[in-house]
Amino acid sequence: MSRNAGRARGRRRDSEEELDVEADPAAVARSVALKRLAAAPQTRAQLDAAMARKGVPEEVREEVLGRFGDVGLVDDAAFAQAWVQSRHAGRGLARRALGHELRTRGVDAATVAEAVEAVDPEQEERTARALVSQRLPGTRRLDPLARTRRLTGMLARKGYPAGLAFRVVREALEAEGVQTEHLPADVPDD
């Protein structure tokens, strides 16, 4: 492809993006929503905010989002369920962290609660154990207290309750033969 052809294509793309909000706000709203949905799944609140940034009036945003919801392109419950499954399996995030991420994306509290309930507490504990066993070898050169701080800190950043984190780390260290009676006592789960 020649340089000029690439520039012409870029100018054409720029002109398409410059839809006139005053002339056809619904077209701008649909364009914004479709572009964002093509890139990644989005919540209703994320799409609404993107349309607002483009100057689309609120009533037009509501109409377009309502239509997208009717045809299944915008579904916060489905988004939340997929998010929870993906982030728990892929990043090992606990229910607390998953709920926080969904709330920051504009998902309502009831939908968040329903989605995070899909993560079984036993599965959450298995995931915490897997995370600790994955990181445990990298801490062997450290003293047990430092290992405990590192591993429980990692679990805390992923949203695991302190009681679960301390219990899982203590058990992993004991399985290696480390004396743990001098380590911080377990704390109750929140």
Q: Identify the band that residue 90 occupies on the pLDDT scale cut at 50, 70 and 90.
A: very high
CB-neighbour burial class of residue 131 (10 A; exposed 0-12, middle 13-18, buried 19+): buried
Within-domain flag for 145: yes
Q: What is the mean pLDDT of residues 36-63?
A: 93
Number of independent structural domains in the chain: 3
Q: Tell me: do 26 and 40 sit in the same domain.
A: yes
Name the average pLDDT for the chain.
Answer: 87
Angle (CA) 125-77-108 rounded to 5° is: 90
Which DSSP string corresponds to 107-130?
--HHHHHHHHTTS-HHHHHHHHHH
Do 105 and 134 belong to one domain? no
Gyration radius of the chain over CA positions: 24
User: What is the domain range of residue 153?
Assistant: 121-175
pLDDT at 179: 74
Residue 16's pLDDT band, with cuts at 50, 70 and 90, is very low
- 157 and 106 in a single domain? The answer is no
Least confidently predicted of 52-56, 71-75, 130-134, 174-178: 174-178
pTM here is: 0.78
Token digits of residue 86: 């993906």
Do 27 and 55 share a domain, yes or no?
yes
Please name the residue that has the structure tokens 């606990």.
Answer: 94
9-18, 20-29, 68-77, 81-90: segment of lowest average pLDDT: 9-18
Contact 99, 116 (CB under 8 A): yes
Residue 84 counted as domain residue: yes
Cα–Cα dist 104/125, whole Å: 25
The pLDDT assigned to 177 comes to 82
**Is residue 1 over pLDDT 80?**
no
Query: How many C-beta atoms lie closer than 10 Å to residue 40's C-beta?
Result: 7
